[in-house]
Amino acid sequence: MVTPAISNLSLDYQIVDVFTENALKGNGLAVVFDTVGLATERMQAIAREFNLSETTFIQRRDPETEKREGVRVRIFTTLEELPFAGHPTLGTASVLKLSAPEALDGDTITLALNVGPVPVRFQSDSLFGEMTQREPEFGAQLDPAMVARLTGLSVDDLHTAAPPQVVSTGTAFAIVALRSHTALARFKVEQEEATKYLRAKGGRWFYVLGPTGKDDPAWRARMQFYGGEDPATGSAAGCAISYLVGHGIVAPRQRIHVQQGVEIGRTSDLFLAADLVSGKVTDVRVGGSTVRVAKGQLFLP
């Protein structure tokens, strides 16, 4: 038997499930510590190794810089680096709250992401956090017939208050509101054609949600990308609540409960709210819980 060579580099990591209080539900996230100086290509390779929706890399800086700008964090999918993503932001802040409490400023941890600073505020003695996302940017309104065809739905499934629209709070999604969540059972994105269509309109992926007709949860959502399905999409949820409040479908400051990932056995619970001031959507908040699942070390040459 050949004895493996000793690694030149070891990195601690944790795996958490986000937007859930139950392990093995929600959206999984790998968080890697002490990655200052780690090459971008190496981060991308590590993200492919974990093969989760996203992997984050924490790069600690001196206390004065972190107090002023936040804790530097980079976010990768298996294919690319993202400027912003919701469940990695919430999950990484939760890991920092437990592992590096000095990063807290009162009840808040601010992450310095590629998109800029994003604060996450925690409830006392809890890993329920609420991130405040960037002010939304409303982009192109989309042709309902085209959207319906690309998502396996019918025009009659779509909400009548407003057409689907590209919205961004850091990452641009095409928000598609439905009359009822029951149509989500037929949701199936024609990925190749949809990618070309959405890129031309300034968007990345479809985020489709509909009301359940119940008090709690009030909405269900789905998001398919990279040929698979996302259990929870916090960045898209911020875009969705911006759209819903902006078009008068949800009242300003009303918190709604959205479930995602039901169809793939990874039920996630997201809590959303936004305000409307002088006709402008503001104070976009997306919250949920995080639970720790595993920790370990990476041994790298």
pLDDT tens digits along 216-228: 889 999 999 988 9
Q: How confident is the model at residue 7 (pLDDT cuts 50, 70, 90)?
A: low
Task: Supply the DSSP string of 20-40, one letter for each residue.
Answer: -SSTTSSEEEEEE---TT--H
- Please, are residues 48 and 22 in contact by the beta-carbon 8 Å criterion? no
Q: How confident is the model at residue 215 (pLDDT cuts 50, 70, 90)?
A: confident
Q: Does residue 130 belong to any structural domain of this protein?
A: no
Question: What percent of the chain clears pLDDT 90, i.e. is strictly above it?
Answer: 94
Residues 143 and 246 placed together within one structural domain of the fold: yes
Residues 113 and 197 placed together within one structural domain of the fold: no
Q: Does residue 198 belong to any structural domain of this protein?
A: yes
Domain housing 234: 137-288
Q: Does residue 44 belong to any structural domain of this protein?
A: yes
Residues 143 and 277 placed together within one structural domain of the fold: yes
Residues 65 and 152 placed together within one structural domain of the fold: no
Q: How confident is the model at residue 195 (pLDDT cuts 50, 70, 90)?
A: very high
Residues 279 and 295 placed together within one structural domain of the fold: no
Residues 294 and 283 placed together within one structural domain of the fold: no
Residues 176 and 47 placed together within one structural domain of the fold: no
Q: How confident is the model at residue 244 (pLDDT cuts 50, 70, 90)?
A: very high
- State the CATH number of the domain containing residue 27: 3.10.310.10
Q: Does residue 128 belong to any structural domain of this protein?
A: no
Task: Supply the DSSP string of 164-209, one letter for each residue.
Answer: -EEEESSSEEEEEEBS-GGGGGG----HHHHHHHHHHHT--EEEEE
Q: Which helix (H) or strand (E) holds 287?
A: strand 280-300
Q: Which residues contact 253 (CB under 8 A, 6 or more apart)?
A: 273, 274, 275
Residues 57 and 178 placed together within one structural domain of the fold: no
Q: Does residue 156 belong to any structural domain of this protein?
A: yes
Residues 142 and 91 placed together within one structural domain of the fold: no
Residues 155 and 37 placed together within one structural domain of the fold: no
Average per-residue pLDDT for the chain: 96
- Residues identified as active-site: 54
Residues 99 and 183 placed together within one structural domain of the fold: no
Distance CA 107, CA 123 (A): 7
Q: Does residue 129 belong to any structural domain of this protein?
A: no
Residues 14 and 117 placed together within one structural domain of the fold: yes
Q: Does residue 2 belong to any structural domain of this protein?
A: no
What pLDDT, on the 0 to 100 scale, is given for residue 264? 97
Q: Does residue 4 belong to any structural domain of this protein?
A: no
Residue 135 has pLDDT above 90, yes or no: yes
Q: What is the count of structural domains for the chain?
A: 2
